[in-house]
Amino acid sequence: MADNKFKMSRERFEELQQELDYLQTVREKEVSELIKEARSYGDLSENSEYDEAKTEQGKLYSKIAELKNLLENAEIVEHTTRAGVIGIGSKVTVLDLEENERCEYQIVGSQEANPMAGRISDDSPFGKGLIGHKVGETVAVEAPAGELRFEILNVTY
């Protein structure tokens, strides 16, 4: 089902693969050593080092499972090449018509979103509102604060 897919760029996919590889090789060995060392301290019932190492191991396995799920359900999104039309990968300059303020954003898959860095998810109301539009158009986006209106000033890839 498409709903279970995680849209991301090839670069993000490769970053996640590298992180998974690191966790399964280097980090897993480090945590295993911590557990081995903590066991050597004796009585496990009152051994806080052992408890901490086992907790760390649990977190590690959880992160590995999460990364595997992301990678197995990744949908690599190639950048849109339709001239001037906003799609995933587009860098967009808009004018907030209410605030009369220019803002720049990049439309990305949900796994790469970072609104504080101007990277807006294609699944967000703002991202959905921009996709498919072009320079010169005005778009209205529903937000918790009400309808926001933007004029699209520039689109690059």
Instruction: List the domain boundaries for the chain.
Output: 2-76, 91-156
Q: Are strands 101-108 and 119-121 parallel, antiparallel or unpaired?
A: parallel
Q: Which CATH number fits domain 2-76: 1.10.287.180, 1.10.3210.50, 2.40.37.10, 1.10.8.100?
A: 1.10.287.180
pLDDT of residue 22: 95
- Digits of tens for pLDDT over the chain (157 positions)? 445 788 777 788 898 999 999 999 999 999 999 989 888 887 777 788 888 999 999 999 999 999 999 899 888 876 655 667 888 888 999 999 888 999 999 998 887 888 889 899 888 888 888 988 988 899 998 877 788 899 999 888 7
Fold for the domain defined by 91-156:
Chitinase A; domain 3 (3.10.50)
Q: How far apart are CA 144 and CA 27, in angstroms?
A: 42
Three-state SS for the chain is CHHHCEEECHHHHHHHHHHHHHHHHHHHHHHHHHHHHHHCCCCHHHCHHHHHHHHHHHHHHHHHHHHHHHHHCEEECCCCCCCCECCCCCEEEEEECCCCEEEEEEEECHHHCEHHHCEEECCCHHHHHHCCCECCCEEEEEECCEEEEEEEEEEEC
pLDDT of residue 82: 61
Query: Model's pTM, two decimal places?
Result: 0.64
